[in-house]
Structure 1
Amino acid sequence: MKKLVLTGAAGRLGSYLREPLTRLCDELVSTDLAGDIGKTYPGERYVQADLQDLDAMVDLLAGADMVVHFGAIGDEAPFETLLGPNFIGAYNIWEAAYRNGLRRVVYASSIHAVGMHKKTDFIGIDAPHRPDTFYGLAKCFAEDLASLYWDKRGLESVCMRILSCAQVSNPRAVGTWLSYDDLIQLVTRAIDTPVTGFSVVYGVSNNDRTPVDNAKASHLGYRPKDNAEEFAKEIFAEAGPLDLNDPGNLHHGGPFAAVPLGNSGLAKLNLKADDTGKR
């Protein structure tokens, strides 16, 4: 491809994707609200831009083949806070992609679009939307937007429902972990699969205790390699018995299923800082 655009390039996951994406195109345009993201990779340039500005997104996506959309507020917050970047920002990306004739939007959706399904239900990619938060509701909106733009305008999308892409630090993550290597593979398959139409796929590694089913997304060729079972014994021993009255232990959304609407879910996840120097 000649040109790829990556939104959310200053974020933690976006930072892991920048260098691998430069190998898939002649030019990677990385973008975020940050004034600077430091040193760029060969073939990469950075453009500061606001997802809420449709004209800026139209200009940014001009001449691109695809856009990898990771830009958003990545936590639960009041609806009014999420409305601009997560809802309107999503519309602006799909509309700008359509106006510029892009082939595909690769979107960082989330398990929180279906987070109120029970954890013991082995849900597939066709599970009905059951958001656990306003954040999850924004993911539902973007997935439906992706479906609409495919049905009415022929713009392909791959919506990656990412589960837990961070170090395994809690019992839930033993099933929901997505390693960074598997994240890179997932995004690569979402880009290089010849035909996707509107597709949904769970972003999860090859964990023994994976709580979701990707069988109906096999056309994407995503075959995760890492397994969180190696962390299970230590994590379970450290955590002790789980409270069965806590909705966070019973639903796919984890703590996001338990927090009051508008309150941070990330604060309850006990995430550990990476030691790789990447965000």
Structure 2
Amino acid sequence: MKKLVLTGAAGRLGSYLREPLTRMCDELVSTDIVADIGKLYDGESYVQADLTDLAAMEAIVKDATMVVHFGAIGDEAPWDDILRSNIIGAYNVWEAAYRQGVKRVVYASSVHAVGMHLKTDTIGLDAPHRPDTYYGLAKCFAEDLASLYWDKRGIESVCMRIFSCAQATNARSIGTWLSYDDLIHLVERSIDSAVVGFTKVWGLSNNDRAVVDNSKAGHLGFRPKDNAEQFAKDVFAKTPPLDNKDLANLCIGGPFATVELGNSGVAALGVVNDKKTT
């Protein structure tokens, strides 16, 4: 295709998407709030912009076929911060896409939209929203926004409910890991599938201990290859016995299910910042 836009290009996940996306289009426009993201790939340009600026979003998505929307606060945070970046920012992306005739938004949603469901429920994609934080609530809003803009304005969306896209370093991640290669594969299938309408899909690898059912998203052709079982022995050997009454162990949102609203959930996960550098 001619032009793709990637928001959140300066983030850890965005860093792994930039190069693969340049191979899917003539022009990749990467954007984030930082002044610079370093060396650019062939076919990539960078525009500094704030998601809360609708006019800036309109200018960036002009003539784009699709937007890959990863820009947002990637953790639980105070309400006013979530409102601006994750809720108003999401509205501005879809509204700009509508005004400029963009075909599809590929959105980095999250398990935290349904994080209070129990692991043992093995929920499907049709399970009701049950957010675990303000962060998760914003993901619910964006998913419903995507559904509305498909029903009323014809903008297709794929909402990728990403679990643990980071190194598998804790017991929870053995069931929830999404490798970077599988993330790239998921985004590629979300872009090159001919018709998606409004689609939700779980973003996790082919883990033996997966806690959700992805069967209703088969039309995307997302077939993850990696499996966190390769890390299980070492991770479990270092993990103390889990409290089976602790919601952080029972709910699919993990520690996000127990943090106080407005306080970081990522802090309890030990996420390694292995951001890709060009």
| TM-score between both structures, scaled by the size of structure 1 | 0.98
The Cα shift of 1:144 comes to 0.1
> Map of 1:85-234 to 2, 5 A cutoff?
85-234=85-234
Q: CA deviation at 1:184?
A: 0.2
Find the residue that maps to 1:212 and give its secondary structure: coil
Measure, in 2, the Cα distance between the counterparts of 1:264 and 1:81: 13
- Distance between the aligned counterparts of 2:223 and 2:232, measured in 1? 21
CA distance in 2, matches of 1:277, 1:33: 18
Give per-residue Cα distances to partners, 1:212-242, cap 9 Å, x unaligned: 1110000000000000001111111110210
- Number of equivalenced pairs: 278
Sort the Cα spacing of 1:278 and 1:252 in 2 relative to 1 into closer, same or farther, 3 A: farther
Q: CA deviation at 1:78?
A: 1.1
Q: Quick one: which amino acid aligns to residue 11 of structure 1? A: G
User: Structure 1: 5+ residue runs without aligned partners?
Assistant: none
Note the alpha carbon deviations across 1:117-150, whole angstroms, 9 max, x for none. Answer: 0011111111100000000000000000000000
The secondary structure found in structure 2 opposite 1:213 is coil
Asked if the contact 2:4/2:29 (under 8 Å) is kept, the reply is yes
Question: Partner amino acid for 1:252?
Answer: I
SS at match of 2:112: helix
Equivalent in the alignment of 2:19: 19
CA distance in 1, matches of 2:155, 2:277: 32
CA-CA distance at 1:244 after TM superposition: 1.8
Q: Does 1:73 align with 2:66?
A: no
- Could you say what the CA RMSD is over the residues aligned between the two structures, in angstroms? 1.0
Is the CA contact (8 Å cut-off) linking 1:5 and 1:30 kept in structure 2?
Answer: yes
Contact 1:147–1:198 at 8 Å: present in 2 too? yes
Q: Is the 8 A contact 1:175 1:210 kept in 2?
A: yes
Secondary structure of the residue aligned to 1:208 is coil
2:12 touches 2:273 (CA, 8 Å); kept in 1?
A: no
Question: Deviations 1:6-65 (Å, cap 9, x if unpaired)?
Answer: 000000000000000000000000000000000000000000000000000011100000
The CA distance in 2 between the partners of 1:110 and 1:23, in whole Å, is: 26
Indicate the SS of the match to 2:120: coil
List gaps (5 residues or longer) in structure 2: none
Percentage of matched positions with identical amino acids? 72
Instruction: Work out whether residues 15 and 276 of structure 2, in 8 Å CA contact, stay in contact via their aligned partners in 1.
Output: no
Does the CA-based 8 Å contact 2:75-2:135 persist in structure 1? yes
Match of 2:42 in 1: 42
Q: Would you say the 8 A contact 1:109–1:161 is kept in 2?
A: yes
1:12/1:278 contact within 8 Å kept: no
Letter of the structure 1 residue corresponding to residue 20 of structure 2? P
Please state whether the residue corresponding to 2:119 is helix, strand or coil. Answer: coil
The C-alpha deviation readout for 1:155-177, integer Å capped at 9, x for no partner, is 10000000000000000000000
1:277 deviation in Å? 4.5
Structure 2: which amino acid aligns with 1:50?
Answer: D
Q: Is the 8 A contact 2:12 2:276 kept in 1?
A: no
1-side partners of 2:273 and 2:19: how far apart? 20
Distance in 2 (alpha carbons) for counterparts of 1:272 and 1:89 = 26
* Cα offsets for 1:158-201 (capped at 9, x unmatched): 00000000000000000000000000000000000000000000
- How far did residue 270 of structure 1 move? 1.4
